Amino acid sequence: MTTGRPRASSREVLSEAACELFLERGFDATSITEIAARAGVSRSSFFNYFESKEEILWSSLDQRVARLESAVPVSDPVAALRHLCDGFEPDSLALALVNAEAMGLTDELERGAAVRQARIARAVAASVVAKGAGPVEAAVCGAAHAGAVMIALERWARAGAGRASLADELEDALAIAAVTLPSQGAGDTAALV
């Protein structure tokens, strides 16, 4: 016999409680104790699921980025970015992106997005370097492709994360970033993707 809430359920309940409170009071004015109380769990239980309030927003993307980083170098960085976004469900991040001002999250989202974008950029750059690109070329390619992911996530959230297609938003952004893929020889970018 198990006791308490199922792990996934408690994580979701905490995320929902946090987002409700962020909308009501703002991010900075909401404490972890208040989030736990709203979710019906103890403050210490909060830390079984999240290390901080910020992690509530970023945890699902962070898990995906960590998988990307652990696979570096990948043979096909563009396919890896598609996989990173594949099956991404509307969550607290999507809600926060749409309601950043009301939740008092604008600064936190900018800081957090920059951290995730830099991690994705490094993973892409390392993969491109492994294929023979120079460091500047790889850094530009990584930055462009990481930016494409973050822009696609934001556009998807604003268009209605449950209604819009993240895959479509990502393809549009990746098509623009594709010009930064290093060529091998006379314009042969296909060898890198």
Task: State the CATH number of the domain containing residue 114.
Answer: 1.10.357
DSSP code, position 52: S
Tell me the per-residue pLDDT of 150-185, one tens digit each, with 9 for 90 and over: 999 999 999 998 888 999 999 999 999 999 988 743
pLDDT of 162 reads: 83
Q: What is the pTM of this model?
A: 0.87
Query: Pick from 36, 33, 31, 51: which is nearest to 5 by CA?
Result: 36
Q: Answer whether residue 77 shows pLDDT above 90.
A: yes
35: CATH: 1.10.10.60
Above 70 in pLDDT, residue 188?
A: no
63 plus 34 within the same structural domain: no
Nearest C-alpha neighbor of 188 from the set 133, 148, 121? 133
What mean pLDDT comes out for the span 63-80?
94
Token readout for 46 is: 């909060």
User: Is residue 91 located within the same domain as residue 44?
Assistant: no
Region of 154 please: left (phi>0), alpha (psi -120 to 50) or beta. alpha
Same domain, residue pair 181 and 98: yes
Are 40 and 83 contained in the same domain?
A: no
Q: Do 2 and 89 fall into the same domain?
A: no
Same domain for 166 and 86: yes
* Number of structural domains found in the chain: 2
Residue 26, domain extent: 1-50
Q: Are residues 104 and 163 in the same domain?
A: yes
DSSP letter (8 states) at residue 180:
G
Distance of CA 45 to the CA centre of its chain: 24
Residues 75 and 170 in one domain: yes
Same domain, 90 and 170: yes
pLDDT digits (tens, 9 = 90+) for 41-60: 999 999 999 999 999 999 99
Confidence at residue 4, expressed as pLDDT on a 0 to 100 scale: 54
Residue 70: which of 55, 58, 80 has the closest Cα? 80
* 110 and 22 both lie in a single domain: no
DSSP-based three-state secondary structure for 8: helix
CA angle 99, 103, 109 (to 5 degrees): 75
Q: Which residues contact 79 (CB under 8 A, 6 or more apart)?
A: 193
Assess whether 22 and 66 both reside in one domain.
Answer: no
pLDDT in tens, 90-118: 899 999 999 999 999 999 999 999 999 99
Same domain flag for 40 and 86: no
Peptide bond into 6 cis (omega under 30): no
Region 133-139 average pLDDT: 96
How far is Cα of residue 48 from the mean position of the Cα atoms in its chain?
21
As to burial, measured by CB atoms within 10 angstroms (0-12 exposed, 13-18 middle, 19+ buried), residue 81 is buried
Report the mean per-residue pLDDT for the chain.
90
Domain end residue (candidates: 35, 50, 65): 50
